Amino acid sequence: MRIVDRMLELLDLLSDKDEGYMITEISEMLDIPISSIHRMLSSLKKHGYIIQDQQTRKYRMGLKVLRLAVNMLNHMDVRVVARRHMEDLSKKYGEIVFLTILDVDTKSAICIDTVTPFSGYSFYVKVGSEMPMNAAVSAQVILAYMDEDTIDTVIGAREHKPFTPNSLLDSELIKEKLYVIRKKGYGICDEELEMGVRAIAAPVMNLHGQVTASITMVGIKLGEYIEEKKIQDIQETAVNISQALGFQRKKQISV
């Protein structure tokens, strides 16, 4: 329907400028008669999708649009959003990529999706696995951005099982690693969960700038050198997923 198309064009226009537009500007930019623009503006204003500044007389987006956007983002499945990015990363490096989220009730980190480059290639991680806070960087990257009280509670409530000789068993050592992760913006698991295996993880943010998930790439450890480009690609993948969930890069990550 033509009227629907025109209203959507009008909303697109108003979304581009915070201070809004005069009705004459809208008419000129959309090449629509002022009388038609006035009817559309009146209808959108009535339903709360736009507002008119009483001083400047300019029209701009209303809170109803923001509420719709927030509702959509809140119901967006992070697995669906992340899947394509995970597949691209896995294909590029030929390694397993998996997605971990925080269970807000139990404060546990749970793997909810994996991408494997070929069959028969598997490590510790499986969908549904709880990732140990003392040995899995996928969990540590999420925990690193929590407040200190939560970190103390989560670390103190768990028995730190030694998965390998490199697993962190001391709470203070775990906290030190969390500090480094937060400072760098990514974390590395160097044979802490499985011998011969190395993983790199980066945080995924929601639209509020809160870390609620992590993206991790895991593969066989081949020497001590870690390719810087691989770290950058994992961080970029995490940012791309975060932005698809509504996060804006200019925001500070919150705890």
**What local confidence, expressed as pLDDT, does residue 221 receive?**
75
Torsion, CA 236, CA 239, CA 241, CA 243, rounded to 10: -140
**Both tokens assigned to 156:** 């103190």
CA–CA gap between residue 189 and residue 196 (Å, rounded) = 11
**What local confidence, expressed as pLDDT, does residue 23 receive?**
92
Q: What is the pLDDT of residues 174-213, one digit of tens each?
A: 999 999 999 999 999 988 988 888 899 999 998 888 898 9
**What local confidence, expressed as pLDDT, does residue 62 receive?**
85
pTM score over 0.95: no
Q: CA 134 → CA 56, 85, 109, 111, distances in Å?
A: 58, 27, 11, 16
CA–CA gap between residue 198 and residue 229 (Å, rounded) = 16
Task: Please answer whether residues 143 and 130 qualify as being in contact, where contact means their C-beta atoms are separated by less than 8 angstroms.
Answer: no
**What local confidence, expressed as pLDDT, does residue 250 receive?**
58
CATH of 76-244, one of 3.20.20.100, 3.40.50.360, 3.30.200.20, 3.30.450.40: 3.30.450.40
**What local confidence, expressed as pLDDT, does residue 65 receive?**
79
**What local confidence, expressed as pLDDT, does residue 78 receive?**
86
CA–CA gap between residue 195 and residue 217 (Å, rounded) = 16
With respect to CATH, is domain 2-72 assigned 3.50.50.60?
Answer: no
**What local confidence, expressed as pLDDT, does residue 231 receive?**
92
The domain locations on the chain are 2-72, 76-244
CA–CA gap between residue 172 and residue 177 (Å, rounded) = 9
- CB-hemisphere CA count at 13 Å for 212? 18
* Residues of the chain under the 70 pLDDT cut: 1, 69-76, 104-106, 119-124, 222, 225, 249-255
**What local confidence, expressed as pLDDT, does residue 28 receive?**
92
207: left (phi over 0), alpha (psi -120 to 50) or beta: alpha
Backbone angles phi, psi at 43, to 5 degrees: -70, -45
**What local confidence, expressed as pLDDT, does residue 139 receive?**
93
98: left (phi over 0), alpha (psi -120 to 50) or beta: beta
**What local confidence, expressed as pLDDT, does residue 7 receive?**
85
What stretches of the chain show up as alpha helix (H) in DSSP?
2-15, 23-30, 34-46, 63-74, 78-93, 137-143, 148-156, 171-184, 228-244
Domain 2-72 shares a fold with domain 76-244: no
CA–CA gap between residue 34 and residue 25 (Å, rounded) = 9
**What local confidence, expressed as pLDDT, does residue 122 receive?**
61
